[in-house]
């Protein structure tokens, strides 16, 4: 009979064969029956690792038996829960009364913001168009030559003198 004594972990403790772990848990719970039980029993004879692991598991169960399950919250607990549910429902209902108004307000605010953005962008577009038109006009305008305009005649005599000058020039 070959004794399997090689199953040890880094801390030199025996460990179970991985393929038998589920069956060992069943064995611990005393729920292993039939051929599986026979197969495990046969394996345990030769495997020191599984035997030690099963013994450890039994010790752990004794250790855990010290702990106590959490106590019953008591008969009043269901009433506390129902009171909290009612409270939550009331809060959510009061929220739901204002919810349509809030929703409409948000929609209105969103539409107004959108319209504002549209207007601003349109105005910005128009302004930039105006600026570019002005620059085109400015670019196409002929440079002004310094032409001195004759002063307007102030009296009839001056008109006559001007006419005389003009006709004199032609002659």
Using CB under 8 A as the criterion, which residues of the chain lie in contact with other proteins when the complex forms? 11, 13, 15-16, 18, 21-22, 24-26, 28-29, 53, 56-57, 59-73, 75, 77-82, 84-85, 88
Closest separation between CB of residue 99 and other proteins, Å?
Answer: 17
Q: Which CB sits closer to other proteins, 11 or 139?
A: 11
CB atoms within 10 A of CB 40: 18
Tokens of 169: 């020039």
Q: Quick one: 61 or 136, whose CB is closer to other proteins?
A: 61
Which residue number, 81 or 161, has a Cβ lying nearer to other proteins? 81
- CB 54 to other proteins: min, Å: 9
Shortest CB 26 distance to other proteins, Å: 7
CA 158 to mean position of chain CA atoms? 88
Q: What is the smallest separation between the CB atom of 4 and other proteins, expressed in angstroms?
A: 17
64-91 as b/e, with b when 16 or more CB fall inside 10 Å? eeeeeeeeeeeeeeeeeeeeeeeeeeee
Nearer of residues 25 and 37 to other proteins, judged by Cβ: 25
């Amino acid at each position: 009979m070959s004794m399997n004594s090689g199953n040890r972990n880094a801390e030199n403790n025996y460990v179970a064969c991985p393929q038998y772990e589920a069956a060992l848990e069943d064995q611990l719970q005393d729920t292993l029956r039939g051929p599986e039980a026979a197969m495990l029993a046969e394996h345990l004879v030769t495997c020191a690792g599984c035997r030690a692991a099963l013994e450890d598991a039994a010790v752990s169960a004794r250790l855990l038996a010290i702990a106590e399950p959490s106590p019953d919250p008591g008969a009043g607990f269901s009433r506390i829960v129902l009171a909290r549910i009612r409270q939550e429902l009331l809060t959510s209902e009061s929220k739901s009364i204002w919810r349509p108004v809030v929703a409409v307000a948000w929609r209105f605010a969103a539409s107004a913001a959108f319209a504002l953005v549209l207007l601003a962008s349109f105005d910005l577009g128009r302004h930039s168009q105006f600026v570019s038109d002005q620059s085109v006009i400015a670019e196409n305008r002929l440079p002004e030559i310094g032409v001195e305009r004759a002063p307007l005649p102030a009296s009839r005599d001056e008109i006559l003198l001007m006419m005389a000058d003009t006709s004199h020039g032609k002659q």
